[in-house]
Amino acid sequence: MNTPTFESAKAAGIETVAVIGLGYIGLPTAAILATNGLKVIGVDVSSATVEAVNRGEVPFVEPDLGTSVAGAVAQGFLRAQKETPAADAFIVAVPTPFQADKSADLSYIEDAARAIAPQLRGGELIILESTSPPQTTAHMAQVVLEARPDLSLDGSEGRPAVLFAHCPERVLPGRVMIELVTNDRIVGGLNAGAAAAATALYKVFCKGEILETDATTAELSKLVENAYRDVNIAFANELSVVSKNLGVDVWELIELANHHPRVNILQPGPGVGGHCIAVDPWFIVAADPENARLIRTAREVNDSKPQRVVEQILEPLDGNGAPTIAALGLAFKPNIDDMRESPAVDIVHKLATQRPDAKILVVTPHSKVLPKKLEGFTNITSATAEEAIAAADVVALLVDHDKFREIDTATLAGKHVVDTRGFWHIRDNE
């Protein structure tokens, strides 16, 4: 375990840090460096974000971040601006969404690199924290050095060196301020000097182990962690489809199989959502399409699960007139409002499109607004769980929010129930 110390960064010549991108990852990182005594300048293209941070406010919800940002701004250790300044170290935490062909959009990283380049004097450390395909750190270095041919990676030919490293982030939203400190960190340098400098910077706040490697291994490690989860969930989801076809209860099957001392099958669900597990494995597939066969198949299995759920919901309704469907939950996981890449949203969208005559009552206990994807559908309405269940022919449990524990299961009697999470342990044929 490390003992965090500001001195480690100082010894590596780092006293000012520019954090580029003040979102869910960049702002907590900026705040934690600033509260540990470094001078931090946060940079964002969004004026609203810059203004909010300079008022000591956080433009999104993350426990404990508000206090940290307000304190750091009030004490003069953190300020935000739109222009990239000169600094001893730069941390890039901009978005890396996937494009229509499932490859990563690197344009945000390239823009950040082009803005950093004119500020360099030589000797700086540039860390890429955005989740990135293999070799993106090298690509970022190339963009910087193309703009600054007077600098180099290794100080050769009298050109001062700039250090580049990739340090992926694996914090859990909702626990970011804790996990930034306690999680182990992987630090991958384009060379050993870059890895050592990045380690010195993370030692300022990280109590976990800091593990040094090369940049490509670090890039791949983040993607592999999420692909591992995706493949294991796909196995459970595939079992749920096979079990249904064979008339077997998948929850009982998995419970029994997990009595084996070396078997631990995950629980199936309506699909996989969120901006990490449903996205990152595609970056591996794009990097080696011929060989990443299992990873691709897992993505396809998980992406096909929402349509299976739609079929389960609609199957008993054929020819029965315009049905009413209660859809319980839209978030991508329980007890949050985040609907990004959510399979539940996909299921409701598919239901509304495939059965335009159906009335769909959606229940979202953690959010008052419907996601953009469901806007404009006249057959989708928000309701309470009680209203939706009372009116419904089919009740589809899509998210295992704790709030749904309050539902009186007696109200489900006589309804066709599709329980995608094994929440009520009601067998399909009951």
Ligand X SMILES: NC(=O)c1ccc[n+]([C@@H]2O[C@H](COP(=O)([O-])OP(=O)(O)OC[C@H]3O[C@@H](n4cnc5c(N)ncnc54)[C@H](O)[C@@H]3O)[C@@H](O)[C@H]2O)c1
Over the range 69-81, which residues count as b (16 or more CB within 10 Å of their CB) and which as e? bbebbeeebbbbe
- Which range in 165-173, 228-236, 315-323, 386-394 contacts ligand X by CB under 6 A? 165-173
Nearer to ligand X, 105 or 146 (CB): 105
Among 9, 14, 17, 25, binds ligand X (CB under 6 A): 25
- Which range in 19-27, 332-340, 352-360, 396-404 contacts ligand X by CB under 6 A? 19-27
Minimum distance between the CB of residue 121 and ligand X, rounded to whole angstroms? Answer: 20
Minimum distance between the CB of residue 411 and ligand X, rounded to whole angstroms? Answer: 36
Q: Name the closest residue to ligand X (Cβ).
A: 23
Strand partners, 419: 397
Nearer to ligand X, 18 or 407 (CB): 18
Among 131, 199, 302, 364, binds ligand X (CB under 6 A): 131
**Contact pattern for ligand X over residues 81 through 100, marking x by CB under 6 A:** ------------xxxx----
**167 labelled catalytic:** no
**276 labelled catalytic:** yes
Minimum distance between the CB of residue 107 and ligand X, rounded to whole angstroms? Answer: 9
- The reply on whether position 173 binds ligand X by CB under 6 A is yes
Could you say which of 203, 276, 305, 333 is catalytic? 276
Residues 161, 153 contacting (CB under 8 angstroms) = yes
**Contact pattern for ligand X over residues 272 through 301, marking x by CB under 6 A:** ----x-------------------------
Strand stretches in 5-159, DSSP E:
16-20, 39-43, 78-81, 89-92, 125-128
Residues 132, 112 contacting (CB under 8 angstroms) = no
- Binders of ligand X among residues 37 to 56 (CB under 6 A) are 43-46, 49
Could you say which of 167, 203, 206, 222 is catalytic? 222
DSSP 105-144: --HHHHHHHHHHGGG--SS-EEEE-S---TTHHHHHHHHH
Residues 196, 189 contacting (CB under 8 angstroms) = yes
Residues 342, 336: Cα–Cα separation, whole Å: 12
DSSP 344-405: HHHHHHHHHHH-TTSEEEEE-TT-SS--GGGTT-TTEEE--HHHHHHH-SEEEE-S--GGGG
Residues 282, 341 contacting (CB under 8 angstroms) = no
Task: Please identify every residue annotated as catalytic.
Answer: 222, 276
Binding site for ligand X (CB under 6 A): 20-26, 43-46, 49, 93-96, 108, 111-112, 130-131, 169, 171, 173, 276
